[in-house]
Structure 1
Amino acid sequence: MTFDEGVLLETRRLLLRPFEEDDADDVLAASRDPELLRWMAWAPAQTAETALAWCVTYAHIDPARGVNFAIVGGDRLVGALGLDRAEWTDGRVEVGYWIAPWARRKGYAVEATRGAAAYAFEKGLHRVELLAAIGNHASQGVARKAGFTREGVLREAVLTPAGRVDAVLFSLLEGELT
């Protein structure tokens, strides 16, 4: 099984679509945000060239393993979301996201995460997992608000710019998305 190439997902307020060349400037701008620089290992090294390469090449990964979405609110990129590490036989996938500073505290991460989880379940997966760094309380709040259940702590499971840190494991099972 695979994810669909070029898939578009619509939620109440958002469009989740493949990344495009025009998204590169917003990806670069977001990467300068102190919160992204704290939690996202890729952010400190982001340049105009790497942002463009992400948007036109690297964001379009093997659909058997995952899919990445540009999260668009109105007419601007407000973040990114990926379904990755799909294990079709086991029926699980991991979701990850970031929200740009100009779009925070509007519920976009929760809405996008729930939309992507619904898509994963439609594709036949049974479990969506989410890892949040132990100190990233905002991301843990997104997981809870999106309906995920906290399962435990995985030691040194997430790479941040400061190094490896423990992560809280959350999950959402098929049938729990209401």
Structure 2
Amino acid sequence: MLTGMWRTGTPLASHHWDGCEPDMVILSKGLGAWYTGVGAVLVSPDIAPFIRHEDADPLPAMGTMATHPLMAAACLGVLDELEAMDFTAFSERAEHLGQAMKSLNGVGPVQDIRGLLGFLYGVEVTSGQLWPVTKAAEEQGVFFCPFTGAGDPKSEGLVVAPTDLVRR
């Protein structure tokens, strides 16, 4: 998930709130650092018995079609790298990004900036402006993940989720 794997400054976004213990967390892109397609489901011990029948095999979803040693190696490498990183600069850089993002609210085609923690923001743009904004950003060497949503008028925007969080 975009809110997992230290994207918000902690291993999972839920770690920002004392006593917040999610029943289930789904991880994907960040776990494989986008090098390999992978996903994982973390389940709390409290609800695990409700998901798995007592007569079922311990890991019924495992098999050659559901997992691969390359995926496991990528995941372990990502976790090792993240755990070794110094996240002291993280909050300063995240705050700087947040201020910069919020300063764009209402400027030109930018209708709204959404974001709360770390390096994850959504930028809603005026309908029909998604591709011109995306193209202008790419011409400056900045690449975003575009999105279109449901509704009338259809919402359009960009996901801001830098992949180089701390090193620069």
Q: Structure 2 length normalisation: TM-score?
A: 0.25
Structure with more strand by fraction: 1
Instruction: Please identify the structure whose Cα radius of gyration is greater.
Output: 2
